[in-house]
Chain A
Amino acid sequence: METTVRTTHHAEAAAAFLRDEENVDWHNETLWFVRSKRDKAATLLPEWEDLREQASRIKNHALSRLDDYLVELEKNAQQNGITVHWASDAEEHNRIVLDIMRQHNATQVVKSKSMLTEECHLNPYLIKHGIDVVDTDLGERIVQLRNEPPSHIVLPAIHLKKKHIGDLFHQHLGTDAGATDPQYLTEAARIHLRQKFLLADVAITGVNFAVAETGGFVVCTNEGNADLGAHLAKVHIASMGIEKVIPKGEHLGVFLRLLARSATGQTTTTYSSHFRRPAPGQTMHLILVDNGRTRQLASPDFRNSLKCIRCGACMNTCPVYRRSGGHSYHTAIAGPIGSILAPNIDMKQYADLPFASTLCGSCTNVCPVKIDIHQQLYKWRQVLGEAGAVEPAKKVGMTGMDVLFSRPSLYRFAGRAGRRLMKLFPSLANNGKLNPWAIHRDMPKPPAQSFRDWYAEQEKK
């Protein structure tokens, strides 16, 4: 029996977001501005396109020897005194984190940005087990105080205006009522979070790149929050998806040149820290997480998505993301890349996402590691169609189209009848209740005859 789930989730959420058009325009323009900064940064490197190609090939290579590199990473990391853990799924990852915390009698955690821990829903898990977990990236702290997930992987609070944040900080941090100056609000967050950094037992960070050759890993931030957390706490836990490993240190040069330029148009992040050994008196843990990645790797159509370095460029350029907001994607990683990663984790829950695109292809062009994002969206649609995971109405419609277009005479008849109907009842065609197209747009005026009919007449003459 075919199981079908609702596939209009993104459309509904997008429609809700679109109700505040002024805000949508702001969101759209702000992200486009980030895309423009990316363009400017890329223009300044004549080798930009070759750099993308090189990054793509390094990642392709790393994935083709992923087992070897993970084993090498593990061996070298262990030699350096890092404890390495392997987690098959989110649940196991979260359990490992909790176990480490309990070993150290830790109750206070500061966390820097890690999309993997978002994907694993680590925060609610830790909170349920009595751990006080504080996100320290400013944007992440803002959404955490609002009990929301981030809406963008690089700009977590981009869906909010400073007024919202001013109100939020007034309520939680005691800033002046009505104060909205970003400088002032950031200072308040700095003071608030500095205390958290000083008191934390454990710091959790993500990993931008892990290097097999050295057994170390690199974490990039602009705020310095990953470093403050990791260097002050007794225990540093770094979580990474298994696809983050690259072979050698020299490969970092390629990726670090691409990452910040693609993400925000900066030539580099402010801090690019290379961790290789715990400092004296501290312990360091590295958790290698699968959570569906080996499944994605085994699929020739979709493994390419594992090259992602989480720069967010595909979101900033996406005309759909810019106007629907990150939350409309209802997954940890929004936007085009999220729409090809999420169905691998749960095909039914995320069946709508590959359809939340016009397949315009801009995402593929900005991707610094050359993931064929829009092609994968198309391929996911076929997989979902085959699996019966799209709306039945859509399938009935498509079957009808096949019947119509496979039979030229039927097509001619239907066309003629349709044009006549539209002419007889123009209000019907332009009725938004019957035809969603017509809610905001007019239907074309039906012409007297089709091209084919005209052509046949000409031939007779």
Chain B
Amino acid sequence: MKVGLFIPCYIDQFYPQVGIATLRLLQRLNVDVTFPMEQTCCGQPMANSGFQKLAAGCDRNFIRNFADCDAVVGPSGSCVLHLKEHLHDEQHPTEAAHLRNNVYELCEFLTDVLKVEQLPPVRFPYRVGLHTSCHGQRGLGLSSASELMKPKFSKPEQLLNMVDGLELISLAHPDECCGFGGTFCVFEEALSAKMGKDRVADHLRHGAEVITGGDMSCLMQLEGTLRRQRSNVRVMHIAEILTADA
């Protein structure tokens, strides 16, 4: 199976270490993974702002880059959800459909496709708070939502539980939105900042030393908030923890 590594634009630019960790993790699990060099953005920022039509160039570029992959894996639930729901190209409908059906968020790829039950030895002796991204959780179904009266599960938690020494903390609001919301974080600045502050406070109150999650955009929001508070609590993408050196 040929797997295309999809590194969303802002991770490429601001968080290369997350891309590196994702790549290493997949390689450690013996996945045949390549990174198509001409990829850019999934188009979500435009679409969420009401300009899905303006994302056509993005869509075409994405398809051009990944059409020959059996599966696409990315370390961002939000971007993956956007692709799953909205990737379209009138000229290449078959390729678009193939990619919509075979694009995976990193955690779900590990638990559902690779069916990982054990990770290569990894130790991370810290108290960790898991931030559940809304798009990953409610959109992609990576974990059960507190609103639904259905059996509880969490794919990211399943993976974190395989890490030696890691202690997952519980939160008062396990699936409250962080307030990032794409362009919401700028156009609704005051609200977005308050939501980020409240989210961080929940983690701090419960003794988190590290906050992690599967969506770097949420984590950017939490990190920006923590840094402004001069907190020394670290923010790490789940791929970084799953590849933490033993």
Contacts and interface: CB of A to CB of B under 8 A. Distances in A.
A357 B47 CA distance: 14
Contact of B193 (A42, A317, A439): A439
For chain A, which range describes its interface: under 10, 10 to 19, 20 to 34, or 35 or more residues?
35 or more
B40 A439 contact: no
A383 B189 CA distance: 24
Contacts of B52: 382, 385
Interface stretch (A54-62, A76-84, A289-297, A402-410): A402-410
B138 interface: yes
Contacts of B184: 355, 357-358
B156 interface: no
Interface in B171-204: 173, 175-177, 179-198
Interface string A398-440: 1101111111100100010011000000000000000011011
A430 to B, nearest CB: 9
A405 B43 contact: yes
Interface in B26-60: 35, 37-41, 43, 45-58, 60
A23 B190 CA distance: 15
Contact of A385 (B7, B51, B221): B51
Given A402-B55, A405-B58, A444 B223 contact: yes
A15 B53 contact: no
A128 interface: no
B19 interface: yes
B195 to A, nearest CB: 6
Contacts of A361: 134-135, 138-139, 145
B31 to A, nearest CB: 16
Interface string A357-373: 11111101110000000
A48 B20 CA distance: 44
A451 B60 contact: no
A364 B38 contact: no
Contact of B191 (A15, A317, A381): A15
A365 B188 CA distance: 23
B145 A362 contact: yes
Contacts of B196: 440-441
A323 B58 contact: no
B2 interface: no
A11 B197 CA distance: 17
A270 to B, nearest CB: 25
Main secondary structure of the interface of A (DSSP, over half): helix
B170 interface: no
Interface stretch (B93-101, B113-121, B146-154, B205-213): B146-154
A273 to B, nearest CB: 29
B111 interface: no
A365 B193 contact: no
B181 A357 contact: yes
B138 A8 contact: no
Contacts of A362: 134, 138, 145, 147, 175, 177
B58 A402 contact: yes
Contacts of A456: 37
Contacts of B158: none
B13 A401 contact: no
B61 interface: yes
23 contacts: A11-B191, A18-B194, A39-B147, A42-B149, A45-B149, A46-B149, A320-B195, A355-B187, A356-B188, A357-B184, A358-B177, A382-B47, A390-B50, A394-B50, A395-B51, A399-B54, A406-B57, A406-B58, A440-B228, A441-B193, A450-B16, A451-B20, A453-B16
Q: Which 4 A-B pairs have the closest CB atoms?
A: A406-B57, A385-B50, A358-B181, A441-B224
Given A21-B194, A454-B19, 7 more contacts: A11-B187, A360-B177, A381-B49, A383-B50, A384-B50, A442-B227, A444-B223
